[in-house]
Each structure stands twice: as structure tokens, then as C-alpha cells.
Amino acid sequence: MVAKNTVEGKKISFEEAIARLETLVRELEDSRLPLEKALEMFTEGIGLTRICNEYLASAEQRIAVLTADERDEISLKEINELPLAAGGQKVEF
């Protein structure tokens, strides 16, 4: 389960985080921003990126994998445990 999916104490969805990141990128590309404002926005973007990465890692762990059985028939195999890309920790469902 995603543990840090909040911004300023408010839960944020993956879609909301991506939309906000897109907005930040557009605003940061405007070279007329004062340095201090640009740094604040960059910091927010880093936090949103971490949230998105957590959602993606969680989704990756929940994906059903297609496998071939002994008779070469395709079946779905649910993954219940996978190592995380960062840190090698396992998450069970």
C-alpha cells in the first residue's frame, strides 16, 4: 500500500499528482519566474515524483503475469510478493 501519498496532509491520487507535475513543468519552463519561486516549485515537484513512483511500484507489484503451464496453455498467475526496485524490500498483498 502506498504510505506517503499525501501533499500537505491531503491524500492525492496518482492522476492528481501527474496533473500537478505537468502544471509545475509548464510554469518552471517560463524563465521569468523568480529563483525562490522556481526552487519552491522544484521542491514540490520532487515530492510529487516520489508519490508517483510509490504508486507505480505498488501497481507493478500487483500486476498479474501471464505464464505457460505444462500443457503450454496460457494462464494468469497473480503475483503476491515482489522485491521493490529501490531497497529490495518485499511487499506482500
**Residue 33 cell numbers, joined:** 519566474
**Residue 1 cell numbers, joined:** 500500500
Per-chain mean pLDDT for the chain: 77
Residue type, 60: E
The full set of domains in the chain, from first to last, is 6-83 (1.10.287.1040)
Q: Read off the pLDDT band of 10 (50, 70, 90).
A: confident
Write down the pTM of the prediction. 0.62
User: What single DSSP character describes residue 72?
Assistant: S
Query: Residue 9: its pLDDT value, please?
Result: 75
Burial of residue 72 (CB within 10 Å: 0-12, 13-18, 19+) is exposed
**Residue 6 cell numbers, joined:** 499525501
Name the nearest CA neighbour of 86 among 40, 53, 59: 53
Query: Residue 3: its pLDDT value, please?
Result: 46
Query: Residue 59: its pLDDT value, please?
Result: 80
Q: Read off the pLDDT band of 72 (50, 70, 90).
A: low
Residues 6+ apart with CB under 8 A from 62: 79, 93
